[in-house]
Structure 1
Amino acid sequence: MSSLATGVGRVLIAVYGILALAATGRSVVQIAEKFSFAPFSYTLSAIAAVVYIVAMIALIVPGRFWYRVACVTIVFEMTGVLVVGTLSLIDRQLFPDLTIWSYYGMGYAFAPLVLPVAGLWWLRKHHRAAAGVEPVRRGATDDAARSAE
């Protein structure tokens, strides 16, 4: 089974790792110091941290199961960024303090908005290799069929 941790995949994994550390650190500090001020925002920060950690692991570990985990996690991440980003623009009272996904990740140079798009592109590009399905080479099947006759 092939790993997704090659080429651009390594960059994606590194960025997921950086965001995992940032979101984890942010949520721990927010929850420990001022949870009662914005519990919804701080809980979302913690959820984002878990999402980034799981996505990073899923991109590192080869196999069908982890490929599927990566797909689900990254789709969840994209949904979270879009929903939280939109809600933070529409109803600022919902988010008295920022999360990593507020304003589509503006506080993180919009990396939370771009990252799931790049991650889904990478997964789509490498779905056969990651799922353990070897691509069929043209001509190889024809040669095998001729030699069997």
Structure 2
Amino acid sequence: MTTTTPTRSTGLGRVLIAVYGLLALAATGRSVFQILDDFDQAPVAYALSALAAVVYIVATVALIVPGDTWYRVAWITIGFEFVGVIVVGLLSIFDPVLFPAKTVWSMFGRGYGFVPLVLPVLGMVWLYLRRPRAATSTPASASPGTTSPGTTAA
């Protein structure tokens, strides 16, 4: 049995892709600047900014490219992003010493208008609504109410 994956790049999907692409650019630029400028001051925070950039890049590509494999990649990256935002958000509140500098995910993405907190939730809902469905195929000769040769109707 084959599966069909509805396209993820229509309607709300286009908005999600645009926002993920924008965050990918912002997080990449921020992390490159932070790492080149003063990595030694907050290596954990700046490495997390770089990781967030990679996650946003992969999520953007996974939302654009059709197919079951990229659908799974989208789930993995967006799920990872959600866990990252929650964990880093909590740590940045309860152990601020770990994050002497801001990251994309610190304080649940407060520096980005909390978009990093809301975006993966919207992304997971969108992916669920666009999940692959089993392709239904019935033989051309079979129609409702008929039986195939060699079978009996119940």
TM-score by length of 1: 0.89
TM-score by length of 2: 0.86
Q: Please tell me whether residue 88 in structure 1 is matched to residue 108 in structure 2.
A: no
The answer for unaligned runs of 5 or more in structure 1 is 137-142
Q: Counterpart of 1:5 in structure 2: which amino acid?
A: S
Q: Please tell me whether residue 20 in structure 1 is matched to residue 24 in structure 2.
A: yes
User: Where in structure 1 do 4 or more consecutive aligned residues deviate above 4 Å?
Assistant: none
Once structures 1 and 2 are overlaid, which stretch shifts more, 120-129 or 18-27?
Answer: 120-129
> Residue in 1 aligned with 2:7?
3
Distance 1:35 1:70 in 2: 30
Distance 2:60 2:70 in 1: 10
> Residue in 2 aligned with 1:146?
145
Give 3-state SS (helix, strand or coil) of 2:91's partner.
Answer: helix
Tell me by how many angstroms 1:2 deviates. Answer: 3.6
Alignment of 1:41-60 (within 5 A): 41-60=45-64
Q: Please tell me whether residue 32 in structure 1 is matched to residue 36 in structure 2.
A: yes
Tell me by how many angstroms 1:148 deviates. Answer: 4.9
Q: Please tell me whether residue 101 in structure 1 is matched to residue 105 in structure 2.
A: yes
Distance 1:17 1:127 in 2: 21
- Contact persistence 2:6–2:130 (CA under 8 A): no
Tell me by how many angstroms 1:146 deviates. Answer: 2.8
Distance 1:73 1:80 in 2: 10
**What count of residue pairs does the alignment treat as equivalent?**
142
CA RMSD of aligned residues (A): 2.0
Q: Could you list the per-position Cα deviations for residues 39-97 of structure 1 after superposition, in whole angstroms to 9, with x for gaps in the alignment?
A: 00000000000000000000000000000000010000000000000000001110000
> Residue in 2 aligned with 1:128?
132
Q: Specify which of 123, 127, 140 is matched with residue 119 of structure 1.
A: 123
The answer to which structure has the higher helix fraction is 1
Identity among equivalent pairs (%) = 58
Q: Specify which of 69, 74, 93 is matched with residue 70 of structure 1.
A: 74
The answer for unaligned runs of 5 or more in structure 2 is 137-141, 149-154
- Name the larger-Rg structure: 2
